[in-house]
Amino acid sequence: MKQTMAQTLALDQTSPTTVGGEFDFAYRLDTALWVFDIDHARILNANAAACELWAAKDEEELRAREFASTMSTSVSNRLRQYQTDFSNSDQKFTELWTLYPNGVPNSVMVIFKRFVLPDQRMAMLCEAVGNSVEQADNVRSAEALLHTDVLISLFNRSGPSLYLNPAARNAFLGNTVDLSDLFENQQDCQRILRQVDQTGEMRLVTKLRTAHGVRWFDLTVKNCLDAATGDPALLLTCIDVSELKEARDTARHLADRDQLTNLYNRSFLQSHLAWLEERHAAEGCAIVFFDVDRFKQINDRYGHEAGDAVLRNIAIRARAVLNPEDMIARLGGDEFVVVIEGKDSTADIEDRIDRIRRAIAKPMVYDQTRFDVTVSVGVARYGDDTDSFSDVLRQADIALYVSKQGGRNKVTVFDVEMGDAVAARDRLEIELKEAVAQNQFVLYFQPRLNIESREIVGVEGLVRWNHPTRGIVMPNDFIPVCEETGLIDDLGRIVLEQGCKQAIEWHKAGRRLNVSLNVSPRQFSDPQFLDTLRAIASQDGFPSGQIELEITENVLIGDDQLIAEKLKAITAMGYGVAIDDFGTGYSNLAYISRFPLTCIKIDRSFIQQLPETGPLVQLILTLGEQIGACVVSEGVETVEQLNWLNDRACAEAQGYLITRPMPASELSEFIKEFPESEVAQALAG
């Protein structure tokens, strides 16, 4: 027995661990000394002290022991590492190891040194050393455990805690806790246990319940054995990362959100759509685009703060009526997008859109001003002729565009023919530019009848586009595009010039006819507008007081003072100002008296619903009388309507009953023959 030990040691002449010729030397040492074969996880030699340490009867019994089956992977990996380190250089390692002689734990400080076996394999000479090192290091490690802010704890595999360092004790409230009680999210706890079973270790950022409330921790859990009992245990290291996580979450929130509305922003939308595509969850998803009708007017008239308030309100209302899983983002400006995932039916999607529109349509009040907001909507679904979200977005955009073109406050679901419609619209825009450049426009005139005197006293100039191939095109088919593109400024000037030229001609010919001309809101706010009017008014023969500009009610909303000054300047030049389509706009009658208005034109929808709308029409008649404005009823189509108006002393009537709009050349004839017409006769009778 002694021989073996001495022989083994003596054989390695080159090793610095060689004890030398005295065979009994190692065996007689009180220090436990053994040679460990790393490859086979067996002890090859051991002195008496080592046998005692390992609780073995003798060296032979110890040599027969097999360590592989009880050795954890981390220990065997560590030993392999030592083997490599010893091969590379002459090193020694001093460590506190817990040995398990016959399953009973025993912590000892061990020095490991290189040891080359006769067959040239690298083994390890192990020496259990005295207490001085052990004590110092034990004290240090105990101190470190006491003072660290890291929560270190040991749990029995079945749940209860075995050891908590002071930081963990303070945080976890108490000397013993159960593992699962720590977790805010029990699924995380189960996940950790499963993973640790499989790989021995897991790291996770999760929420733990602490004395300071629920906080975020960077948690590492390792499989180990309880040094006191040798039972399977879990070592937990927890670092509080709440502040870090909050800072990161805030940063992410800022990057993903639209600052004004707190909805998601464009960049988040894009990553969300990419994520849906990656997960193969894009099929059937609906993209709902919506955009606030006439948002620019709100901004221009009431200022950006009002505009912002409206957008915030829309965001809150839309979010509130959507399902939690629906995603809504603001793309910028007044454009919003909702992503509804594919499992929902068309009816579900329609319902969602309906809810959004109804929520937004409820009046909004900002700074004592009431806003009635509507939105135009475009919808497209993934999979209908598309295989990428960028296609679906484009389709939804086209559908939205079609809603706008169709008069706003509408929902349009994309279909392929719309692509053609958009191309047609682009063509129209090009043609219109050409038409403006070449002045392909003519004015038709619709007479205004003085009901009492039964005379034609005025005409409204209504523009027509004399299209080179299509013939006469009506204003509703091109005015909106002109408004949108800004072509209206040029077209408006053409109409004013042409209308006034005609008025001057009639005036010179001795015909007294009031001529009214339509002015679009955009044209009214054009900075050049007053100059154009001034130039026209300075022409020779300009019939001052006989040309009226028709504006709609919404032109009068905004900065009162500015508008009043503009209107004053216009009337000072000799133009009259009529309110067109009266009753369809912002229905605030108070403004009427603030502006110098010469005429009110009652919208034809009220006239056509007479006598039901009688009280309202009567009210407008009274209002006109009070402010000294002439009242014209538009859209008079029947003798009954005309008689009703006649009975209430409405000044003028305009409508198909009298005649449709006609070219200037036909007007003289019409006026001459009118007294003989059935309408004139009916009035006379």
Cβ distance to ligand C2E smaller for residue 458 or 492: 492
CA 119 to chain centre: 71
Stretch 621-640: interaction string toward ligand C2E, x if CB under 6 A: --------------xxx---
The closest alpha carbon to 181, from 200, 218, 153, belongs to 153
Binding at 476: pick from Mg ion, ligand C2E, none (beta carbon under 5-8 Å per type)? ligand C2E
- The nearest distance, CB 655 to ligand C2E, in angstroms, is 3
CA angle 500, 503, 506 (to 5 degrees): 155
Quick one: 307 or 447, whose CB is closer to ligand C2E? 447
Task: Report CA-CA distances (Å) from 414 to 281, 364, 662.
Answer: 21, 30, 39
355: exposed, middle or buried (C-beta count within 10 Å: 0-12, 13-18, 19+)? Answer: middle
Distance between CA atoms of 160 and 140, rounded to whole angstroms? 27
CB environment 67-96: b (16+ within 10 A), e (fewer):
beeeeeeeeeeebeebbebbeeeeeeeeee
Q: Where are the beta strands (DSSP E) in 393-503?
A: 411-413, 441-450, 455-467, 471-473
Task: Give the Å distances, CA to CA, from 405 to 266, 357, 431, 441, 646.
Answer: 25, 18, 17, 22, 38
Least separation in angstroms between residue 552's CB and Mg ion is: 8
One symbol per residue from 527 to 566: x for binding ligand C2E (CB under 6 A), - otherwise; what is it?
A: -----------------------x----------------
The DSSP code sequence of 84-111 is HHHHHS--EEEEEEEE-GGG--EEEEEE
Query: In angstroms, what is the minimal distance from the CB of 564 to ligand C2E?
Result: 22
**398 contacts 339 by C-beta, under 8 angstroms:** no
Tokens 């436990």 label which residue? 32
The residue (of 293 and 580) whose beta carbon lies closer to ligand C2E is 580
Number of residues that bind ligand C2E (CB under 6 A): 21
* Interface stretch with ligand C2E, choices 208-216, 234-242, 353-361, 654-662 (CB under 6 A): 654-662
- Indicate the Cα dihedral angle 348, 351, 356, 359, nearest 10°: -140
**Helical axes 304-321 vs 346-361, angle rounded to 10°:** 140
Return the H-helix or E-strand segment holding 582: strand 575-582
Site string (405-444) toward ligand C2E, x via CB under 6 A: ----------------------------------------
550 touches Mg ion by CB under 5 A: yes
Find how far residue 595's CA is from the centre of its chain. Answer: 43
For residue 506, give the H/E element and its range.
helix 488-508
* 226 binds, options ligand C2E, Mg ion, none, Cβ within 5 to 8 A by partner type: none
Quick one: 164 or 482, whose CB is closer to ligand C2E? 482
Q: Does 59 bind ligand C2E (CB under 6 A)?
A: no
Q: Tokens standing for 59?
A: 């060296």
Residue 526 or residue 550: which is nearer to ligand C2E going by CB?
Answer: 550
Report, in Å, the least distance between residue 667 CB and ligand C2E.
15
| 552 closest CA partner among 576, 581, 516 | 581
Give least dist CB 613 to ligand C2E, A.
15
CB atoms within 10 A of CB 101: 15
Q: Which of Mg ion, ligand C2E, none sits in contact with 661, Cβ below 5 to 8 A by type?
A: ligand C2E
Q: Which is nearer to ligand C2E, 624 or 655 (CB)?
A: 655
Q: How far apart are CA 562 and CA 595, in angstroms?
A: 11
Cα→Cα distances 279→239, 272, 275, 414, 552, Å: 33, 11, 6, 25, 52
Binding map of Mg ion across residues 617-656, x = CB under 5 A, - = no contact: -----------------x----------------------
Of 544, 502, 432, the C-alpha closest to 667 is: 502
Looking at 373, 462, 503, 645, which residue binds ligand C2E (CB under 6 A)? 462
Which of 656, 663, 668, 681 is the binder for ligand C2E (CB under 6 A)?
Answer: 656
Q: d(Cα 206, Cα 192) in Å, to the nearest integer?
A: 11
Among 463, 487, 504, 617, binds ligand C2E (CB under 6 A): 463
One-letter identity of residue 289: F
Residue closer to Mg ion (CB basis): 403 or 518: 518
397/526 with CB nearer ligand C2E: 526
Binding mask 184-223 for Mg ion (x = CB under 5 A): ----------------------------------------
Cα(67)–Cα(58) distance, rounded to whole angstroms? 17
Strands 369-371 and 455-467 turn out to be unpaired
Contact segment (CB under 6 A) with ligand C2E among 36-44, 412-420, 468-476, 611-619 equals 468-476
What is the Cα–Cα distance from 655 to 659, expressed in whole angstroms? 6
- Residue 518 sits in the site that holds Mg ion (CB under 5 A): yes
Q: Identify which of residues 474 and 569 has a Cβ nearer to ligand C2E in the complex.
A: 474
Tell me which stretch binds ligand C2E (CB under 6 A): 180-188, 286-294, 392-400, 472-480. 472-480
Residues 486 to 525 in contact with ligand C2E, rule: CB under 6 A: 492, 495, 518, 520
Select 402 or 630, whichever has its Cβ closest to Mg ion.
630
**Binding at 475: pick from ligand C2E, Mg ion, none (beta carbon under 5-8 Å per type):** ligand C2E
Contact with ligand C2E (CB under 6 A) among 604, 632, 642, 679? 604
Is residue 659 a contact point for ligand C2E (CB under 6 A)? Answer: no
Q: What is the 3-state secondary structure (H, E, C) of 216-256?
A: EEEEEEEEEECCCCCCEEEEEEEEECHHHHHHHHHHHHHHH
C-beta of 32 vs 459, nearer to Mg ion: 459
Return the sign of the alpha-carbon dihedral for residues 406, 261, 390, 355. negative
Inter-residue contact 607 to 650 (CB < 8 Å) = no
Q: What track of x and - describes contact with Mg ion for positions 563 through 592 (by CB under 5 A)?
A: -----------------xx-----------
Residue 520 binds: one of ligand C2E, Mg ion, none (C-beta under 5 to 8 A by kind): ligand C2E
Does 398 help bind ligand C2E (rule: CB under 6 A)? Answer: no
Question: Could you tell me the CA-to-CA distances from 519 to 383, 490, 548, 569, 578 in Å, in that order?
Answer: 45, 12, 10, 16, 10
In this chain, which stretch among 322-330, 449-457, 469-477, 668-676 interacts with ligand C2E, using CB under 6 A? 469-477
Sites for ligand C2E among residues 562-601 (CB under 6 A): 580-581
Smallest gap from residue 581 Cβ to Mg ion (A): 4
Q: How many helices (DSSP H) and strands (DSSP E) are in the chain?
A: 26, 27
Positions in the binding site for ligand C2E (CB under 6 A): 446, 462-463, 474-476, 479, 492, 495, 518, 520, 550, 580-581, 604, 635-637, 655-656, 661
Positions in the binding site for Mg ion (CB under 5 A): 518, 550, 580-581, 634
